[in-house]
Amino acid sequence: MRKRITILGSTGSIGRSALDVVRHYPDRFEVVGLAARSNAELLAEQVAEFEPKHAVLEDGEAAKRFSPCPESCAFAAGLEALEELASVPVDVVLCGMVGAVGLKPILRAIDAGNRIALANKEPLVMAGPVVMERARKQGVDVLPVDSEHNAIFQCLHGHGIENLQCIHLTASGGPFYGKPRESLVGVTPAQATRHPTWDMGAKISVDSATLMNKGLEVIEAMWLFGLPLSKVEVVIHPQSIIHSLVEFTDGSILAHLGLTDMKFPIQFALTWPDRVPTPMGRLDLTTMRELTFAKPDFSEFPCLAYALEVARLGGNAPAILNAANEAAVSAFCQGRLEFLRISDVVHEVLEESTFESEITLESVIAADQDARARAERAMTALGV
């Protein structure tokens, strides 16, 4: 039988890659639902090709541009419709949305008993204990799609967590690695999103340029694998061939190597626990001239330092960090905020916010909204 899948964020980088995987395996997958934020035109094309039973546009204004759905597909718009779609019973809900908006849909999907293939790291950053406890109670698997976490998941297979020394999250360093911070004055969104090894969406590309993305991934890894911060390390690996490593107490290190193509971890998550032949290219070991590693320089990447401190604090601090960063990155992409000011805004919001050690879904959402408001005030003070 074909696996029934719903893709949240179908018009984004992850969603488009996932649908490309589906194209290669028409006998394995049935697309039940597709959801996008505002790209009505591409969503209409996807609906015509994959014939889902449900389609959703989060943006109500964009929904006015959506071409008529076939009678076999129910179309709806808005955040509530997005959550409803996530709760439709399927085999896998792939969460490829960007930002905090994915939190409630993921929880609705878990409550419905749907397996989660998670590419949207922000919900775990914001509310890791809430999401993972909900998944545990419902008996729902949360499979990582982020290349680093997918690599760790595969390296840990068959090994007890008690034998783990630490995990090493690899980071390319982004487009500005090795450049002094003072040389980044005047960096444009086009420059910041020109990632040297990965083809990703704008927000995650900017986060990779500041290394905030790696900080968020540290927090994500802590919740996915039940690890303390002391067992999660970040290492710069510019070639992006090794997607992450797992070190065990006996000194052995297992590494996951592969091409920089998100279709690989997406295919793994969608077909798990099976492995199927891939139509994609394969890594040619003879073409690799060097694999280099370095410790991150926190003075060059202050966002990573802030994220690691927030990981140590826990509670609502990750939600505050994530919201402030989302607001600052959005302003940068709109041309309102200078690149180097992203870390300044995040730091100011963290300095001004009130931290709470215990969280609920409601308190996380409140912290998120408060941090966004503080970020806007901080940017107004900067003349943005």
Tokens 């401190």 -> residue: 309
For residue 41, name the pLDDT band (cuts at 50, 70, 90): very high
Instruction: Output the pLDDT for position 111.
Output: 97
| H helix runs in 102-255, sequence order | 103-111, 122-138, 147-156, 189-192, 202-210, 212-225
Summarised one tens digit per residue, pLDDT across range 200-224 is: 788 999 999 999 999 999 999 999 9
pLDDT in tens, 332-360: 999 999 999 999 999 999 999 999 999 99
Cα angle value 152/158/159 (rounded, 5°):
70
The values of phi and psi at residue 315, to 5°, are 60, -130
Please report, for the chain, the start and end positions of each structural domain, with discontinuous segments joined by +.
3-144
Distances (CA, A) of 231 to 7, 41, 131, 165: 32, 45, 21, 7
pLDDT of residue 69: 77
3-state SS, residue 120: coil
Residue 96 confidence (pLDDT) above 80: yes
How would you class 139 by CB atoms within 10 Å of its CB: exposed for 0-12, middle for 13-18, buried for 19 or more? exposed
pLDDT tens column, 284-335: 999 988 999 999 999 999 999 999 999 999 999 999 999 999 999 999 999 9
* Residue 335, Ramachandran bin (φ over 0: left; ψ between -120 and 50: alpha; else beta): left
pLDDT digits 0-9 by tens, 104-144: 999 999 999 999 999 989 999 999 999 999 999 999 999 99
Task: Provide the sign of the torsion angle of the four alpha carbons 237, 242, 245, 251, taken in this order.
Answer: negative
Which pLDDT value is given to residue 198?
Answer: 76
Q: What angle do CA 55, 266, 292 make, to 5 degrees?
A: 140
Determine the pLDDT at residue 99.
84
Query: Among candidates 69, 4, 131, which has minimal Cα distance to 81?
Result: 69
**Domain spanning 3-144, CATH architecture:** 3-Layer(aba) Sandwich (3.40)
**Could you read off the pLDDT of 231-260 as tens digits, one per residue?**
999 999 999 999 999 999 999 999 999 999
Q: Report the chain's mean pLDDT, rounded to a whole number.
A: 94
Q: Is 199 exposed, middle or buried (0-12, 13-18, 19+ CB in 10 A)?
A: exposed
Give the model confidence (pLDDT) of 54-71 as tens digits.
999 999 888 888 877 788
CA–CA distance, 361 with 383 (Å, rounded to integer): 33
**3-state secondary structure at position 170:** strand
For residues 246 and 17, what is the distance between their CA atoms, to the nearest angstrom? 27
| Residue type for position 150 | N
DSSP 286: G
User: Cβ distance 61 to 36 under 8 Å?
Assistant: no
Alpha helices in the chain (DSSP H): 13-24, 40-50, 60-63, 79-86, 103-111, 122-138, 147-156, 189-192, 202-210, 212-225, 263-271, 302-313, 317-333, 341-352, 361-381
Q: What is the pLDDT of residue 66?
A: 87
Please tell me what DSSP assigns to residue 68.
P
Task: Grade residue 384 by pLDDT with cuts at 50, 70 and 90.
Answer: confident
